[in-house]
Chains A and B, each alone.
Chain A
Amino acid sequence: MSKTAKGKPLNGQTIAKHFQRNTPYYVMLAIPVLYFAIFRYWPMFGLAIAFQNYKPGMPFLNSGAKWVGLKWFIQFLNYPFAWRLVRNTLLLSFYSLIVGFPLAIFLALILNEIRSRKLKEFTTTLSFLPHFISTTVVVGMLTNFLNINDGIINQLIVRMGGTAKDFMGTARYFRTLYVASGCWQNLGFSAIVYSAAIAGVDPGLYEAAFVDGSSRWKNMWLITIPNILPTIIVMLILRVGSLMSVGHEKVILMYSDRILETADVLSTYTYRVGITDGSPKVSYATAIGLMNSLVNLLLVVVTNTISRHVGETSLW
């Protein structure tokens, strides 16, 4: 293949020739591109219903639906619990980040430092087993462990002299339970990335440090961590970028009427209002979703820009 002139899309060829030369590529791209066009870009046109009084049944961008401008956005901003939803979304993500992020790194470091090879392999393999267990099962276990009548946790509390509590039904415990179960399920798996990065650290550095009389503890801080810093930062950017999108799947499994105060997040509200409601408010729900997506986008852009200027690593 001849040298290509960078930058110029067709680098001097005619369109026909370009296609002839690159047909296989286009053929291969056909399916994925079709997928993205249909399932990712077409719904984006659906965002238009956020500005309409849309009733299911009409196509998007139909003139049949009444345009109402920013009515739904304003309605959401007037919703007394709008701030609660945003706050819950942010707090859940934030706590998951604050707790889960360092712990994952920490876990990777610990696993790396286990001396016995057998123990190390066993523990490592075991640590990401929970990730393979579906969220339904994890929440199922959680719910039943915390059952007020026959859950093991309440059993323990009663045995130690306290009174059984309905943890899943009390708003104050929700965040803790959410984050804790999230950690149990995902910590090991998240740590893999860092384990891979740690394994990529030049062993010569350790040898040199050993010669200098450094301890394992110091090694960890002075060699391992700085060398995996790029990985950490990339992961952090990605995490921050999705700060405003708490996965509704798990919350829906865990929440109930009683704990909306802490458990209701933007995505669950959208789900309730737009899908399960007796008369679903489709436009309103879409408007909220749109605002959510935009904020996410903003966060990613901002974080990436900051990172690009401050350090060297960034997503683009």
Chain B
Amino acid sequence: MKKKDRIQETHESNVLLTSKGDKIFDTCIYVLAVLIIIVTLYPLIYVFSMAISNPVAVARKQIWLWPVGFSSEAFKTVLNDKNVFIYYGNTIWYTVVGVVTGVIATSLAAYPLSRRNFTPRKYFLIFIMFTMFFGGGMIPTYLVVARFLKLYNTRWALILPGLTSAWYISVTRNFFATIPEEMLESAWMDGASEYRIFLQFVMPLSAPILAVLALYYGIGHWNAYFDALLYLGKTELQPLAMYVRRVVIQNSLEAQGLDHAVDLTYEQVMSTLQIKYAVIVVAVVPILLLYPFLSKYLQKGMLVGSLKG
């Protein structure tokens, strides 16, 4: 039995023997847990309910938690716009490419820095770590990327500037350093090159930390909007976040395919709010579906990867 389970068991078996103080404590904890659940879930449920309810009920402000009536008009309107799929495709592209390149670049940097026999590593480490505390800033970076490197209006403008970061390299490096030196030495003795050691030993063993990296980069790219605002003029290259921002925050009627609102009928007017919420649902649903799987990796990774300097 693992240590953790033993503790759990001990705690649970203590139920019968706990004092009143502990009982109160447990109740408080229970209440707090429920509160956490409510606070986390309520906005999401409300948004979903609003998107799917009958428009008349929405106009009459009858929705507090659960849907009232049913109408898929809002979703139909949103999904009718072909551009939504383009934006989605872009987001997926940026996420996948960003994760793959990010993980590769981070590992490539972390591995040599974790090998004790690589003596100049201190200098490289300083070279990389310095960027964690100081940088050029928004404008010079923009000028370099957009102007000198001519990446404006290209997809790579969203991938390259944020390829990796000192922080993740550091975390990965720590992990690599925990791989027993002897194992790698024996592979070396068997005549394997460093490349092979890296690819066939280190990487598979590092699956937890790589998963965490993938998650971090993935979330980062999935949600990014600011770089797109700066670097992408063409709407066909833009990620979903830009679309969400335009429709939900800037109140543009883009989602309804209505460029000028004068032709709105009363029904269409009523449903604008619903459409905004429908857009949110559309943007968030894949995350929600993938979430159960992702969270397992995350918890494992955090336990493993951690934070000791």
Contacts and interface: CB of A to CB of B under 8 A. Distances in A.
A114 B33 contact: yes
Interface stretch (B74-82, B104-112, B203-211, B254-262): B104-112
A22 B195 CA distance: 11
B287 interface: yes
Contact of A25 (B19, B61, B115, B226): B115
A93 interface: no
Contacts of A99: none
B64 to A, nearest CB: 8
B141 interface: yes
B39 interface: yes
The bracket for how many chain A residues form the interface is 35 or more
Q: Is the interface of B mostly helix, strand, loop or mixed?
A: helix
Contact of B248 (A114, A137, A196, A203): A137
Interface string A272-316: 001100000010011001101100110010000000000000010
Nearest to B273: A150
Nearest to A301: B133
Interface in A42-65: 42-47, 49, 56-57, 59-60
Given A35-B163, A113-B29, A123-B33, A196 B134 contact: no
Contact of A144 (B219, B248, B295): B248
A4 interface: yes
A136 B223 contact: yes
A139 interface: yes
Given A32-B128, A133-B284, A136-B245, A286 B194 contact: no
B303 interface: yes
B277 A144 contact: yes
Contact of B148 (A59, A113, A139): A59
Given A9-B120, A35-B164, A136-B225, A270 B139 contact: yes
Contact of B128 (A10, A36, A130, A289): A36
A296 B133 contact: yes
B124 A29 contact: yes
Contact of A135 (B46, B169, B223): B223
11 contacts: A18-B119, A24-B198, A26-B112, A33-B124, A110-B29, A110-B36, A114-B30, A129-B295, A136-B223, A235-B307, A282-B143
Interface of A: 1, 4, 8-11, 18, 22, 24-26, 28-29, 31-33, 35-36, 38-47, 49, 56-57, 59-60, 107, 110-111, 113-115, 117, 119-120, 122-137, 139-141, 143-145, 147, 150, 152, 155, 184, 188, 192-193, 195-197, 199, 203, 206-207, 210, 215-217, 231, 234-235, 241, 248-249, 252-253, 267, 270-271, 274-275, 282, 285-286, 289-290, 292-293, 296-297, 300, 315
Interface of B: 3-4, 6-8, 10-12, 14-15, 18-19, 21-22, 25-26, 29-30, 32-33, 36-37, 39-41, 43, 46-47, 61, 64, 105-106, 108-109, 111-113, 115-120, 123-124, 127-128, 131, 133-145, 147-149, 160-161, 163-164, 169, 185, 188, 193-195, 198, 219, 222-223, 225-226, 230, 241, 244-245, 248-249, 273, 276-277, 280, 283-284, 287-288, 291-292, 294-295, 298-299, 302-303, 306-307, 309
